[in-house]
Structure 1
Amino acid sequence: MTIAKKKETRVFNITQLSTRAEENESSSIEGYAAVFNSKTNIGGWFDETIEPGAFARSLSENSDVRALFNHNWDNVLGRTKSGTLRLLEDAKGLNFHVDLPDTSVARDLSASMERGDINQCSFGFYVTEETWDYSVEPALRTIKEVDLYEISVVSIPAYDDTEASLVRSKELAQKVEVRKTLLKKIGNLLEEK
């Protein structure tokens, strides 16, 4: 008995798949741009700590702080004035949450953060109140108050205790799971051929 060959085709509805760019549109970064009472050495010249409350006045008065990548003003990730950067001083330090734009800089940064290559922060400021202790070697500067103008996700931080992590929304996580399930079904159907 001869079985006639019959041409078969498979059609898959992939209209619900999201692009990688759409994934990054929904991502954000959160962490600590500065940590209180964490001593660091500044260029071998002196040690420095930041006192709790150092950002309070600046956060209440300055409504236009930017989030950057590596302190580069060409790489703006968010801004308090637009609502894409949120800053809060808590017991640990200067907490931030920035909603990433759909830009090549943000996508590249997200990829580096997913790999674990970049995970720390820094900040740009003018000191408005400080004390110095010259009785220790090296001298110790305690920052008591600053005018904050930017925070940055950086590859090389001055303070090692800072932290930054990539955050994905619940909606995005659900879309990723739907995509994985659909791709698995497609793979299973192709294997059956």
Structure 2
Amino acid sequence: MSDAERRFTRGLVEVRANDGNSDGGRRVGGYAAKFNRLSQNLGGFVERIDPGFFAKSEGDGWPDVMARYNHDDNRLLGTTEAGTLRLVVDGTGLDYVVDVPASREDVMELVARGDVHRSSFAFRTFSDDWGQTEDGFPLRTLLSGALVDVAPVNTPAYMDTSTGLRSLAERAGAELAEVRAAADAGDLARFLARPKTTTIDLAPGGQGDTHPSLVLRQRRAELNRRRTF
């Protein structure tokens, strides 16, 4: 499993209507991630999230996922384990709703006033793929991973892209320092022409010799079967 990464969503976090829970209506939510949307330039490449990216986490019941204001351990808002954080994957992306505790009333006020209006999510990648946009710009597609947390955020932090560059280096059989230097020079595209030299498992102990798209289809079919019952 790779190091945790963070990405930010161009969408509003907002106060959500009360559904009768005992939280007194202190609920905020939004899309933490949106599928098939090109990211901003992440330092020589852009990204998009495949609709199957969260299938493993969703199929496992979203284990140990938290909502934390600004990803801060000291600003915990809710957890999937306690049922105070609820996650839904739809055709747009990953939507979350969290019951904000009374001790975090400032978060409610900041969201209600519009001071906090961004969402973010942290994740670990199991499988990705590299290609190019229609304009020939390097494109990383996130295929499968584990969700770590979702977060309303007021100031997007610097996004460390080391994991993504490491993935491209492994794919191309190159040194990370060489790929990082190419990223700084805006020349990552030359690594995309190299043959893929490694197979990336979708999960620990996963299907190393199975094509990622086949594994994702199998996971989606199993997830749909579970939803039927």
TMscore range, shorter length: 0.5 to 0.7
Distance in 2, Cα, partners of 1:111 & 1:133: 43
Q: Which residue of 2 aligns with 1:97?
A: 97
Q: Which residue of 1 aligns with 2:207?
A: none
2:110 to 95, 112, 121: 112
SS, match of residue 34 in structure 1: strand
- With normalisation by structure 1, the TM-score equals 0.63
Distance in 2, Cα, partners of 1:81 & 1:71: 17
Q: Which residue of 2 aligns with 1:81?
A: 81
Distance in 2, Cα, partners of 1:98 & 1:111: 15
Distance in 1, Cα, partners of 2:79 & 2:130: 32
Return the structure number with greater strand share: 1
Q: Which residue of 1 aligns with 2:148?
A: 149
Matched, 1:125 2:123: yes
Q: Match of 2:25, as an amino acid?
A: S
Once the 2 structures are TM-superposed, how far is the Cα of residue 157 of structure 1 from its aligned partner? 4.7
Q: Taking every aligned residue pair, what percent have the same amino acid on both sides? A: 37
Q: Deviations over 1:100-139 (max 9, x none)?
A: 1111xx2111111121111221111101111111575541
Alignment gaps of 5+ in structure 2: 1-22, 158-229
- With normalisation by structure 2, the TM-score equals 0.54
Kindly report structure 1 stretches of 4+ aligned residues shifted beyond 4 Å.
Answer: 134-137
Classify 1:74/1:45 alpha carbon distance in 2 versus 1 (closer, same or farther; 3 Å): farther
SS, match of residue 40 in structure 1: coil
Count of aligned residue pairs for this structure pair: 134
Once the 2 structures are TM-superposed, how far is the Cα of residue 60 of structure 1 from its aligned partner? 1.9
Classify 1:156/1:87 alpha carbon distance in 2 versus 1 (closer, same or farther; 3 Å): same
What pairs with 1:1-193 in structure 2 (closer than 5 Å)? 25-61=24-60, 62-103=62-103, 106-134=104-132, 138-157=137-156
Q: Check conservation: 1:25, 1:102, Cα contact below 8 A.
A: no
Largest Rg, 1 or 2:
1
Alignment gaps of 5+ in structure 1: 1-23, 159-193
Distance in 2, Cα, partners of 1:79 & 1:145: 22
